[in-house]
């Protein structure tokens, strides 16, 4: 009911600040200390405050544009490029432009610079994601919504526990006993990295083997990942199977160290972010085919539907279907 709507004067009284301070903090204008601005935003979200202009924007499409957020340190990877073009295709079909973000901060025109947003591998500290959700702007998070804080209207995720289970059980059926995961380090501050690592550790526990995990910078040079893997191969308990969470890393190490072949030092290698050119369908690499363009298209279509509806739904979840392109000498276990 309208009488129950939380107003700016109410928020100002509850916070002990002026109406002008609350208004400026919520609109992203004026001179407000960052700590005060964040306190106002968090309190407004907790109280269920919704700015009237947000509802109007949802109905009439004031900007006819959506935001697309990519991880700040991984935009050069082909997965994100293909995903972005999928979002663009879906947005174009719905008559929407796409604003590709280059920083995680509010726009100069205020918080409501777009009618909605797609986040791929959203970073845990994303201030922009929290702001958009707090203001009732529709948000779709693909493959990694932050664990803490408000939830997006729709999360679309790959089931990495299922994928990791298939890879490790199949590697074990093929003869592997000492698996290792090469995962991005904190240079990729995404729940995607945490979910992949947790899935690997969980399945190693179920299989009764140590969970060897090594971290690598998401933008690290090829020579460094080759050196890291070469160093692991020189250890007494060297791995006989390796799963690479970063795109292209399995292909790089396979080419440089001749890994992934039945008679090589590491006969079983896999990629959890299969590069379509060098990993998916490579005969020596088992690679997860995420179909990034179609993944982006689905995310964009879902966001366009939320905007068109003019009414936000409660947080929902979808599982994005994927397939594993198996290396020739792996014994598959479904």
d(CA 213, CA 200): 9
The answer to whether residues 188 and 250 belong to one domain is yes
Task: Look at residue 222 and tell me if it is in a domain.
Answer: yes
Of the listed ranges 28-42, 44-58, 116-130, 142-156, the one predicted with least confidence: 44-58
Task: Look at residue 129 and tell me if it is in a domain.
Answer: yes
Band (pLDDT 50/70/90 cuts) for residue 88 is very high
The answer to whether residues 110 and 67 belong to one domain is yes
- The predicted-structure confidence for 95-147, as pLDDT tens digits, reads as follows 889 988 755 554 444 455 688 999 998 877 778 888 888 888 899 999 877 76
The answer to whether residues 153 and 297 belong to one domain is yes
Task: Look at residue 112 and tell me if it is in a domain.
Answer: yes
Residue 29 has pLDDT above 90, yes or no: no
- The predicted-structure confidence for 213-269, as pLDDT tens digits, reads as follows 999 987 789 999 999 999 999 999 999 999 999 889 999 999 999 999 999 999 999
Residue 54 has pLDDT above 60, yes or no: no
d(CA 198, CA 170): 18
- What is the count of structural domains for the chain? 3
pLDDT at 109: 44
Give the pLDDT mean for 48-64: 54
Task: Look at residue 311 and tell me if it is in a domain.
Answer: yes
The answer to whether residues 283 and 178 belong to one domain is yes
- Helices 34-46, 8-15: axis angle to 10 degrees equals 120
The chain-wide mean pLDDT, for the chain, equals 85
Question: Helix, strand, coil shares of the chain as percentages rounded to 5?
Answer: 40, 15, 40
The answer to whether residues 149 and 241 belong to one domain is no
pLDDT at 303: 93
The answer to whether residues 138 and 168 belong to one domain is no
CATH number at residue 133: 3.40.50.2300
Residue 311 has pLDDT above 50, yes or no: yes
pLDDT: is 70 or 212 the higher one?
Answer: 212
Residue 157 has pLDDT above 90, yes or no: yes
Domain boundary among 13, 28, 49: 49
| Residue 143 and residue 296 in contact, taking contact as beta carbons nearer than 8 Å | no
Phi, psi of 136 (to 5 degrees): 75, 20
pLDDT: is 59 or 260 the higher one?
Answer: 260
d(CA 202, CA 306): 35
The answer to whether residues 193 and 114 belong to one domain is no
Task: Look at residue 334 and tell me if it is in a domain.
Answer: no
Range of the domain at 105: 53-157+292-320
pLDDT: is 66 or 106 the higher one?
Answer: 66
Task: Look at residue 331 and tell me if it is in a domain.
Answer: no
Residue 324 has pLDDT above 90, yes or no: yes
The answer to whether residues 262 and 223 belong to one domain is yes
Share of the chain above pLDDT 90, in %: 50
Band (pLDDT 50/70/90 cuts) for residue 53 is very low
| Residue 41 and residue 127 in contact, taking contact as beta carbons nearer than 8 Å | no
The answer to whether residues 184 and 138 belong to one domain is no
Task: Look at residue 328 and tell me if it is in a domain.
Answer: no
The answer to whether residues 80 and 198 belong to one domain is no
The answer to whether residues 144 and 117 belong to one domain is yes
Host H or E run for residue 10? helix 8-15
Pull the structure tokens for residue 183: 């995962």
Band (pLDDT 50/70/90 cuts) for residue 154 is very high
* Biggest CA pair distance of the chain: 74
Of the listed ranges 19-23, 59-63, 97-101, 243-247, the one predicted with least confidence: 59-63
CATH number at residue 7: 1.10.260.40
Task: Look at residue 35 and tell me if it is in a domain.
Answer: yes
The answer to whether residues 63 and 6 belong to one domain is no
Pull the structure tokens for residue 246: 């970063």
């Amino acid at each position: 009911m309208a009488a129950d709507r939380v107003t700016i004067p109410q928020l100002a009284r509850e916070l002990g600040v002026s109406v002008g301070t609350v208004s400026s903090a919520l609109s992203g204008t004026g001179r407000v200390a960052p700590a005060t601005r964040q306190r106002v935003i968090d309190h407004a979200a907790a109280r269920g405050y919704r700015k009237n202009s947000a509802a109007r924007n949802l109905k009439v499409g004031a900007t006819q544009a959506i935001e697309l957020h990519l991880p700040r340190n991984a935009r050069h990877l082909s997965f994100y490029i293909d995903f972005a073009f999928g979002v663009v295709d879906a947005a174009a079909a719905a008559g929407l432009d796409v604003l590709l973000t280059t920083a995680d901060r509010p726009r100069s025109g205020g918080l409501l610079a777009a009618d909605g947003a797609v986040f791929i591998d959203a970073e845990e500290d994303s201030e922009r994601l929290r702001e958009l959700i707090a203001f009732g702007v529709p948000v779709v998070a693909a493959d990694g919504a932050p664990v803490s804080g408000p939830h997006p209207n729709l999360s679309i995720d790959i089931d990495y526990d299922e994928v990791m289970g298939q890879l490790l059980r199949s590697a074990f059926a093929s003869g592997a006993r000492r698996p290792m995961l090469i995962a991005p380090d904190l240079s990729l501050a995404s729940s995607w990295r945490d979910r992949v690592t947790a899935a690997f550790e969980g399945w190693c526990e179920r299989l009764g083997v140590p969970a060897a995990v090594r971290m690598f910078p998401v933008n690290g040079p090829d020579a460094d990942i080759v050196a890291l893997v070469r160093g692991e191969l020189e250890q007494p308990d060297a791995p006989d199977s390796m799963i690479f969470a970063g795109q292209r890393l399995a292909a790089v190490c396979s080419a440089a160290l001749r890994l992934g072949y039945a008679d090589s030092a590491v006969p079983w290698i896999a990629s959890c972010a299969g590069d379509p050119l060098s990993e998916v369908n490579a005969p020596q690499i088992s690679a997860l085919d995420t179909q990034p363009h179609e993944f982006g298209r689905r995310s964009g279509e879902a966001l366009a539907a939320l905007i068109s509806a003019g009414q936000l739904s409660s947080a929902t979840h979808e599982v994005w279907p994927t397939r594993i392109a198996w290396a020739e000498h792996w014994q598959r276990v479904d």
